[in-house]
Chain A
């Protein structure tokens, strides 16, 4: 009986999380256009619905009804599966992410996490990094040189920053002695002064930078930067296949924002008078806004500069951080 309830609860939660994250990902595209427009002295989408709010629906309809084009020389099965890999891995990753504090509905306690595994962080990062296969397979199977270059750029970028994000998170993990995101959240109960960011500032900065790189945001948006590689790995994609890549990307953006909020910024603990759930939403929104703000303000860097930055600056710094944390803990 209990098992059945658990299965039903998990399925319901999975469906809810999936649809909410997908909807948020889609909504983030709208917010991105509006925020960028505001920063760039223009209006953004205005014509569909009030303030262009229905633009989202229009885009969705467009993507779903577009002709599905598969170019001639592509390796068809791989070409088809690549966007699915990108989107699916992004959604699998959110399975171990807690969003809100637990709450009670009709006397039934709900844990707003699909699966509370004790290596949650490891799972999230592992599953998210599988997403790298999306661009890679797309780039290799598209039979297009721009796709190939884009795919190659994606692999070097994501692979390199995987190392940095992994190493930078080691410090916090050593301090808190857990890989479960719920335990990490509970570690920071007690207000702003208990946030991990004060104890691990370097790790915070490194993880944030790696987050920008892993979600392919400016200044690291080399993978599909138009002026250089046309559309990178997505050059030959159109319609919803193309859309899947971007839903995956935005879902990743949300995941990274949630991770930063939970690990460094106090998670879903109550913040002053703000209830935990709302505090969490605010923190995630703030991060997404930061992603957009940086995009509006900065140019982006060159692939070789990116590699230099990753391996010669960030990687040694994250090692030093692990070392210092170790010394302090001992």
Chain B
């Protein structure tokens, strides 16, 4: 593919879709991919520090760009090696989503970007010294940071661009981090004229806890509980995304029953996530009653999940190569009851708002994001589909038999708050269809991969045979040994494309894990969305994007 670009270009094909190019060609190659090959969608940018890797690499770091083409059919990874002192060309002029991604790479790895508008930390505190994802940064090293960022370095240029030379003309206001509508700890710093937002700057990282660094210190199965805390509204989908990626590296596939259970529980989590988002968004609008109409069925679903997994919120149900245990007796009836409750709650809520003029006036044409803009910003999931882009990982890159299920992809036409909410309502309906079909087709059999280098042997074997006990011991102590490789794979989580880029060195602990959190990209576009709108609209915009701080800040 790259041959068509420049005959003289030196590159190596590492895998079918992974190319290694020279650092100075990087921007040209990505520009070519975007303009000529239609790679409009920047999935993620990350880096790897190879300094302690078991085999030698030409240079210490590698920077990695993951791209999708315009129909989301092909995924291409561009990789380039560099040393600490080398500077990468910024691609923020090609992709707006690259802005925060490049800031993150700078923050975590200390790689510099040329021509980046404002290269500063994004996840870590501004007083933080060092770059935590470098291998020479000790995992136990704490730093006490106390100073608040006044964000004026970003605010003043933005105000000037809007023609406000004098800061006395506006009123500055912090929406968050502790504000009733910030849904977690997200800070948006705004300049107001009356109640109209002139310019806005977002600051994230209040919930940053070093997920990716922690991953490098734990075995694959130990990471599962950490993934629960990413998008805690749909913990199981995060479990699945991580396990799915690792299984892809191992080259194994779950037995059919295991796959179906993942579909059922995963879709149930999606329903819960959407219910939370919709309820919170409607409360922000003052429609209080919807909160209980939508949260009560969520409660039924949580009862079901706690019965099944032992936990309500952070389930940790999945394991590499399967899950902890099979469904319980009577699961089917509980699930049926749960779906009925969801249907009723949703119908009640819709009957309150669907034809309500106030609701329509509040939600329609607010926070409009066009198709092109949404793709350029790296949006995915319901937010992207609300802007009218037909991209659902379940349809484009089916996993777990999603291609055989009968469900529709809900698309919006305008890309406003109303569309984002209605797409979520429709997705709840479609998820229910999938669950019902999957329950009908649920086969019998094993749920775990029958390979005991990956999954635990039966407890009876562990307690009665030396092989079983040894097997369990080795798996617990060493973890699942994943062959040395680099792999990106994604599933459709409740918020969009949730991907993991994992580098393995062959041991039981990943060498590097990078999450591609869908929220991160939605959040990075919030300041531009809310400029020119009112405070009341900004609250709705934030709610409709469904920003989950656990996933955003990692």
Residues of A within 8 A of B (CB): 36, 39-42, 145, 149, 218-219, 221-222, 225-230, 295-305
Q: B286 and A221: CB pair below 8 A?
A: yes
Which of B179, B353, B356, B534 lies in contact with A302, CB distance below 8 A?
A: B534
Task: Report B162-193 CB contacts with A as 1/0, cut-off 8 Å.
Answer: 00000000010100000111000000000000
Chain B residues whose C-beta falls within 8 Å of the C-beta of A228 in the assembled complex = 181, 284, 535-536, 539
- Bound Cα distance from A225 to B287, whole angstroms: 11
Stretch binding the partner chain, chosen from B288-296, B329-337, B397-405, B472-480: B288-296
Q: Are A305 and B180 closer than 8 Å at their CB atoms?
A: no
Known: A229-B535, A299-B356, A303-B536. A40 touches B361 (CB 8 A): no
The 10 A-B pairs at the shortest CB distance, nearest first, are namely: A300-B286, A299-B287, A227-B181, A299-B285, A40-B292, A227-B284, A299-B286, A226-B180, A302-B536, A296-B289
Tell me, in angstroms, the Cα distance from A228 to B361 when the chains sit together.
17
> Contact partner of B292 among A41, A145, A300, CB < 8 A?
A41
Residues of A near B293 (CB, < 8 A) are 40-41
Given known pairs A145-B171, A219-B358, A304-B534, the reply for A298 and B287 (CB within 8 Å) is yes
> Which residues from A are CB-within-8-Å of B289?
36, 39-40, 296-297
A228 to B534, CA, bound (A): 10
Closest residue of chain A to B361, judged by CB? A305
Q: Which residues of chain B are near A305, meaning CB under 8 Å?
A: 361-362
In contact, B180 and A230 (Cβ under 8 angstroms): yes
Q: A40-B292, A145-B173, A227-B180 are in contact. Are A299 and B535 (CB under 8 A)?
A: no
Q: Taking A42-B292, A230-B179 as contacts, is the C-beta distance between A297 and B285 under 8 angstroms?
A: no
Q: B179 contacts A299, CB within 8 Å?
A: no
Counting chain B CB atoms within 10 Å of each CB, the highest count among A230, A296, A297, A302 belongs to A302
Q: Say whether A40 contacts B288, CB under 8 Å.
A: yes
Contact A298 B296 (CB under 8 A): no
* A300–B195 touching, CB < 8 Å: no
Mask of B286-325 contacts with A, CB within 8 angstroms, 1/0 = 1111011100100000000000000000000000000000
Q: Is B359 an interface residue (CB 8 A)?
A: yes
Q: Which residues of B contact A41 (CB under 8 A)?
A: 292-293, 296
Q: Which residues of B contact A221 (CB under 8 A)?
A: 286
Residues of A within 8 A of B94 (CB): none
Given contacts A227-B284, A229-B535, A303-B536, contact A298 B361 (CB under 8 A): no
| B352 within 8 Å of A (CB atoms) | yes
Chain B residues with a Cβ closer than 8 Å to the other chain, count: 30
CB contacts (< 8 Å) of A302 on chain B: these are 361-362, 534, 536-537
For the complex, what is the distance from the CA of A299 to the CA of B359, rounded to whole Å?
6
List chain B residues, Cβ under 8 A from A225.
286
Q: How far is the CA of A99 from the CA of B285 in the complex (A)?
A: 37
Q: Which B134-187 residues sit within 8 Å CB-CB of chain A?
A: 171, 173, 179-181
Task: Give 5 A-B pairs besides A36-B289, A218-B286, A299-B358 with Cβ atoms closer than 8 angstroms.
Answer: A39-B289, A41-B293, A297-B289, A299-B285, A299-B362
The residue in chain B whose Cβ has the minimal distance to the Cβ of A42 is: B292
Chain B: minimal CB distance from A312 (Å): 14
Output the least CB separation between B405 and chain A (Å).
32
A-B contacts, 22 listed (Cβ < 8 Å): A36-B289, A40-B288, A145-B171, A145-B173, A149-B173, A149-B195, A218-B286, A219-B286, A221-B286, A227-B181, A228-B536, A228-B539, A229-B535, A230-B179, A296-B288, A297-B289, A299-B282, A299-B286, A301-B358, A301-B361, A303-B534, A303-B536
- What is B's interface to A at a CB cutoff of 8 Å? 171, 173, 179-181, 195, 282-289, 291-293, 296, 352-353, 356, 358-359, 361-362, 534-537, 539
**In the bound complex, what is the Cα–Cα distance between A302 and B359 (angstroms)?**
10
**Alpha-carbon separation in the docked complex, A227 to B544 (Å):** 14
Query: Which partner residue on chain B sits nearest A228 by CB separation?
Result: B536
* B283 nearest CB neighbor, chain A only: A227
* B284 CB contacts on chain A under 8 angstroms: 227-228
Give the residue among A222, A225, A228, A301 with the most B Cβ atoms within 10 A.
A228
Q: A219-B286, A221-B286 are in contact. Are A299 and B180 (CB under 8 A)?
A: no
Give A295's nearest chain B residue, CB to CB.
Answer: B288
**B191 to A: closest C-beta gap in Å:** 12
Query: What residues on B are CB-neighbors of A149 within 8 Å?
Result: 173, 195, 535
B63 to chain A, nearest CB (A): 41
Inter-chain CA distance A222–B352, complex, in Å, is: 20
Residues in chain A near residue B288, CB distance under 8 A: 36, 40, 295-296
Least Cβ–Cβ distance between B299 and chain A, in angstroms: 11
Chain A CB within 10 A, most for which of B291, B293, B353, B361: B361
**A308 nearest CB neighbor, chain B only:** B361
Measured between C-beta atoms, what is the minimum distance from B502 to chain A in Å?
39
Cα distance, A295 to B289, chains bound together (Å) = 9
Min Cβ gap A3→B in Å is: 52
Complex: how many Å from CA A54 to CA B286? 28
CA distance A294 to B536 in the complex (A): 20
Residues of B within 8 A of A219 (CB): 286, 358
Q: Which residues of B contact A300 (CB under 8 A)?
A: 285-286, 358
Query: Contacts A41-B293, A42-B292, A219-B358; is A297 near B352 (CB within 8 Å)?
Result: yes
A41: nearest chain-B partner, CB-CB: B292
Q: Which residues of B contact A297 (CB under 8 A)?
A: 289, 352
* Bound CA span A145–B284, Å: 20
Are A298 and B358 in touch, CB under 8 angstroms? yes
User: CA of A222 to CA of B286 in the docked complex: distance in angstroms?
Assistant: 9
Q: How far is the CA of A299 from the CA of B540 in the complex (A)?
A: 12
Nearest CB of B to A135, in Å? 16
Taking CB as reference atom, which chain B residue is nearest A300? B286
**Chain A contacts for B359, CB-based, 8 A:** 299
Tell me the smallest distance from the CB of B245 to a CB of chain A, in Å. Answer: 37
Q: Which residues of B contact A42 (CB under 8 A)?
A: 292
Whether A301 contacts B180 in the complex (CB less than 8 A), given A41-B292, A227-B284, comes out as no
Is there an interface contact between A303 and B287, defined as CB atoms closer than 8 Å? no
Q: CA of A41 to CA of B359 in the docked complex: distance in angstroms?
A: 22
Q: Roughly how many angstroms separate A300 CA and B291 CA in the complex, as a whole number?
A: 15
How far apart are B290's CB and chain A's nearest CB, in angstroms? 8
Residues of B within 8 A of A298 (CB): 286-287, 356, 358
- Which of the listed residues A41, A227, A305 has the most CB atoms from chain B within 10 Å of its own CB? A227
On whether the beta carbons of B171 and A299 are closer than 8 Å, the reply is: no
Minimum CB–CB distance from A226 to chain B (whole Å) comes to 5
With both beta carbons as reference points, the residue of chain A lying nearest to B292 in the complex is identified as A40
Taking CB atoms, residues of chain A closer than 8 Å to B534 are 302-304
State the CA gap A225–B540 with chains docked (Å).
13
CA A123 – CA B292 in complex, angstroms?
42
Taking the closest CB of chain B, its distance from the CB of A269, in whole angstroms, is: 36
CA distance A228 to B197 in the complex (A): 13
Chain A residues lying within 8 Å of B535, measured Cβ to Cβ, are 149, 228-229
